[in-house]
Amino acid sequence: MPTHPLRIRALLAAGVASGAAAALPAPAMDLRQAYDAATVQDATVRAARANAEAGRERLPQALAQQRPQLSLSAGRNYNDLSTRSIDNFGQNRRWDNDYYSGNQTLSLRQPLLRPALGAQVQQARAQVEESDAQLEQNEQALVRRVGEAYFDALLARDQVGLLQVQKANHLLQLDAARKSFAAGAGARTDIDEVQSRLDMTLAQELEAAQHVDFTRHRLEVLTGQSAARLAAVDMPRFVPTPPEPQRLDDWIARAEAASPELQALRAQAEAARLEVRKAQAGHLPTLDAVAQVSRSQSDSVYNVNSRNMQKTIGLQLNIPLYSGGAVSSQVRQALASEERARESLEAARRDLGVRVHQEFRGMTEGVLRVRALEQAVRSAQQALLSNQKSLQAGARSTLDVLQAEQQHITALRDLTQARYRYLLAQLQLQSLAGQDRSANVGQVNAWLESGG
């Protein structure tokens, strides 16, 4: 007896839930929990945090170059002196003398005029900003990566459920076809058609089950937690809406202003501009204030057993005259790097506009696609019911019913994919626009069932 559409829906619900290991008492993990776990577990984000910490140290290092430099040096030596000479009587004479010598020097240097240091401090600030923006970029990317892994796992689970529904239908139809053939009312071709579809479904189920394992493992690697049970989309509450604001230009402007990727590249371009100033400062003089206190004992063979104390203070001027063309080469190199940074920023800005456009369309068209596919599912369900009744009346064949069932399952699969694609587009569009990560995840997580 062919399966009634109401039974198909019941089997579908059971099949979708089969991958969730309902016997386990532990609650299902939702998107919020997956993201929170990934922020702690993900090695890429942890590396980005460490990189940001390292980048922040550039500023205190640059500021230290403008502050006084104080150093102390000390030494103590043992000297064994042998002296030979000819005295007034023409005789060779030798004197042996051994003694200790030593020195201690305390030096203070304060840069007064070093144009490169000012540019270096500003450059360090730009590099710190770049490091922080890169960290934000990696953390925003984590939102997208967790979302992709989570919804891929849900989709794989749902596809297994659909195939299990299809397999159950084929088994019932195969049993009915065999009974009908044994009673002399059916045809052998009905059995062969159903068996062929059943074999194909079994092969697809094996492949889909492997994909379930892969997607779960991918999510588990990100979160460090079991992904055996995942909260599904709450279909009664899920009502996709267009993005707000509804103008693409507004989203592109928002992304260009808040995108951490562009912020990092802007800071990189500023650092490259300041590198040009640093290189050009190689042509300029520098001026330092220098103070020194030195104490020495037996500092030469002529002053054995003597002690000296010297104090000096003054200015030290350094005027570069010629360095073999190195400074000019460094300036040209810095200018080329600045041009590269500007063009990289422009390329990223254009690419960002393309990606925002793609995700914006993913939401706007996703609303229409979900509605259209919901209607397609209803139509396919009605067509399946009509074919089943026509088969009972003898007006349709088993092949017609199989094709109607396939169309119904295909429509359900496409609807499931469209829903997840819409949710992922919402997640990614908000990330590209630089929205708060927690709020972004919370908006999408609100569509999921509580407690799995």
Identify which of 127, 7, 12, 118 has the alpha carbon closest to the alpha carbon of residue 59.
Answer: 127
pLDDT of 451 reads 52
pLDDT of 47 reads 95
pLDDT digits (tens, 9 = 90+) for 280-296: 999 999 999 999 999 98
Portions of the chain given CATH number 2.20.200: 69-113+285-319
Domain 69-113+285-319 has CATH 2.20.200: yes
- Neighbour order of strands in the sheet with 286-297: 69-86, 92-113, 286-297, 307-318
pLDDT digits (tens, 9 = 90+) for 121-151: 999 999 999 999 999 999 999 999 999 999 9
Q: Using 50, 70 and 90 to split pLDDT, how confident is the model at 302? A: low
Instruction: Calculate mean pLDDT across residues 397-425.
Output: 88
pLDDT digits (tens, 9 = 90+) for 34-76: 999 999 999 999 999 999 999 999 999 999 999 999 999 999 9
Taking the whole predicted model, whether its pTM rises above 0.85 is answered as no
Portions of the chain given CATH number 1.20.1600.10: 5-66+115-283+324-445
pLDDT of 301 reads 64
Q: Measure the CA–CA gap between 329 and 335, rounded to whole angstroms.
A: 10
Architecture of domain 5-66+115-283+324-445: Up-down Bundle (1.20)
Residues 6+ apart with CB under 8 A from 321: none
Residue with tokens 């089950």: 209
pLDDT of 172 reads 82
Task: Considering only residues 21 and 323, tell me which one the structure prediction assigns the higher pLDDT.
Answer: 323
Instruction: Calculate mean pLDDT across residues 340-368.
Output: 95
pLDDT of 265 reads 95
Q: How many residues make up the chain in this entry?
A: 452
Residues 6+ apart with CB under 8 A from 131: 51, 52, 54, 55, 56
Residue with tokens 């596809």: 159
* End-to-end CA separation in angstroms for the chain: 34
pLDDT of 57 reads 95
As given in the structure block, the two tokens for residue 302 are 């002529």
Instruction: Calculate mean pLDDT across residues 1-20.
Output: 44
Taking 50 as the threshold, does the pLDDT of residue 199 lie above it? yes
| Arithmetic mean of pLDDT over the chain | 87
Q: Using 50, 70 and 90 to split pLDDT, how confident is the model at 316? A: very high
Find which of 86-95, 122-131, 193-202, 407-416 is predicted with most confidence, using mean pLDDT: 122-131
